[in-house]
Amino acid sequence: MKRNVSILLLVALLFGCKSQRDRTPSPEPNYFLNLYTQEVLSKDAYNAFIDSLDVAYADTVEGHFITIHTKPIITDESGDSVIMPFIYDVRVGTEYKIRSKEYPRIGTNIAEKRLKTVTGDSVQIGGKQSKPTLINLWFIGCGGCRAEIPALNHLQKKYADRVNFIALTDDNEKDVRKFLKKTPYTFTHAASQNWKYDETSLRPYIDAIKSYPYPENIFIDRNGIIRYVEGLMPTIGSLDDCTKHSEMILDKLLKE
């Protein structure tokens, strides 16, 4: 039995949207709102519920992973009730049994397209290829995007000759080249040639394949089919821990 329970605080403070002086400690929640069922749980009942999820998937051979996504707290006028809304994902191996978001792009076929890279070369996305492909959707001003770059580099180094690693952004390619001079990011990069929403922009193409706001990691098999879509990679812990789930996906695609 393998167990992995993680908690994600999905609040703006995560990536520094406010200055340090504006940050005030959040009150400790004494109730928890299950957004799936709308049931309000006491702290003890909440802990018991999380434990019950763990027990329910305890016998899975592949290992199970429970991720709790919390939302901004709710307080009543008196301040006596501090409620933390939450939803959760349950994943067994590479497959989700419960997922808080829908990803309608999964299972869709990406038509073959060649894009100009920031180095002046070209790269193929979609269509039949000899290798699986990992596409990272990002932009320079995205804190989460920058935070996961070390983990992405770790993946690229491990699977360099077996997987296509491509990063797409609609940032201006001049800005991307400037960023890459200061920040090692070892994917093949394609970017917009200017800020116009026209044939030189990657925005229409990115909008056609993405599901949610950045960052997003799209895993494509050799037949050009989107098989998995993941959001922000873990950024706490060793690089091996941060990339474990992505490695499971890539290993599966490589065996097919």
Task: Output the pLDDT for position 89.
Answer: 92
With cut-offs at 50, 70 and 90, classify the pLDDT of residue 19. Answer: very low
Select from 130, 123, 184, 118 the least CA-distant residue to 152. Answer: 184
Q: What is the pLDDT of residue 204?
A: 86
Q: Which string of b and e fits 179-209 if b means at least 16 CB within 10 Å?
A: bbeeeebbbbbbbbeeeeeeeebbeebbeeb
113-255 CATH, one of 3.30.70.100, 3.40.30.10, 3.30.420.10, 3.20.20.450: 3.40.30.10
Predicted confidence (pLDDT) per residue in 135-159, tens digit: 999 999 999 999 999 999 999 999 9
- Span 201-230, pLDDT tens digits: 888 889 888 888 889 999 999 999 999 999
Structure confidence at residue 50 (pLDDT): 92
The domain limits of the chain are 3-98, 113-255
Confidence class for position 7, pLDDT limits 50, 70, 90: very low
Confidence grade of residue 9 (pLDDT, cut at 50, 70, 90): very low
Checking if the pLDDT of 20 tops 60, the result is no
| CA pair distance 215, 144, nearest whole angstrom | 7
Residue 224's pLDDT is: 97
How confident is the prediction for the chain on average, in pLDDT?
Answer: 86
Higher pLDDT: 73 or 234? It is 73
